Amino acid sequence: MGRGKIEIKRIENKATRQVTFSKRRAGLLKKAHELSVLCDAQVGLIIFSSTGKLWQYCTQPLRMENIIERYQKVTGTRIPDEQESREQLRNELNFLRKETRRLQLTVRRYTGEDMASIPLEELHDLEQELQCSVNKVRDHKDELLQQQLENLRRKERQLDEENRHMNRWIQEHGAAFGYQQAAMQVKAEDQQQVLDQFPFCGEPSSRLATIPPHQIHPYHLQLARPNLQGPSV
């Protein structure tokens, strides 16, 4: 029974990943050696593990430097040595210094400093550049102001629309509200007329208080006596 196909992706488990690296590294070195011997090929193999450790294989009797040199000749690439690298860095540093001084001088001219050493023609050109910059700044400022004005106008239109909508709502519901108030007022007047017809129904305490005390007669309840003689014959 054949082995199942393994999905090619990074192994998350560190121990399993290290074991797999060791096995496949040995197999890759073996295949490189077989390819070099069987096919008389010049093979150079360089392997760096995830921890930075180096493994390599080179066809005998060559060295890895010979393989790399041949690779550079074929591809047209060349690894500079230490002296060339230093010279290249020095040239780049000098270029950056000159560019920095030039930019600083340009900034000082734009701010109106160190103007004595500038000739008349350069002053004229500088004036034209500054005038062009001012025009660009003004155009951008006018554009921003126009946008703000348009936003204010849009907001004003929205407020006017809300105001008209509110007025329509008041006009539509105002008549019904006025009719309801009128009906409540008529009902209150009818109730007052009924109270005027029946004076003791409205404010009994206040009306009774106006009757003189000598006109109020007390009433006593008397219990009826039982008939003990019986019915007459």
pLDDT single digits (tens) 91-108: 899 999 988 888 887 777
Q: What is the percentage of the chain residues whose pLDDT exceeds 70?
A: 70
Report the 10 Å Cβ neighbour count for 20: 13
pLDDT of residue 202: 47
* Residue 228: band (very low, low, confident or very high) from pLDDT cuts 50, 70, 90: low
User: Angle, nearest 10°, between helix axes 82-110 and 120-197?
Assistant: 70
* Residue 129: band (very low, low, confident or very high) from pLDDT cuts 50, 70, 90: confident
pLDDT of residue 153: 92
Average pLDDT, the chain: 78
Nearest-angstrom CA–CA distance, 218 and 201? 22
Residue recorded with tokens 């890759």: 28
Instruction: Tell me whether the omega of the peptide bond preceding residue 231 falls within 30 degrees of 0, making it cis.
Output: no
At 162, list the tokens. 């809300």
pLDDT of residue 56: 92
Nearest-angstrom CA–CA distance, 183 and 175? 12
Partner residues linked to 45 by β-bridges: 57
pLDDT of residue 23: 93
Nearest-angstrom CA–CA distance, 10 and 20? 11
pLDDT of residue 178: 64
Judge whether residue 47 has pLDDT over 90.
yes
Partner residues linked to 46 by β-bridges: 56
Contact criterion met (CB below 8 Å) for 168 and 161:
no
Selection from 39, 80, 79 nearest residue 59 by Cα: 39
Q: Could you read off the pLDDT of 58-87 as tens digits, one per residue?
A: 998 888 888 888 888 888 877 666 676 788
pLDDT of residue 7: 80
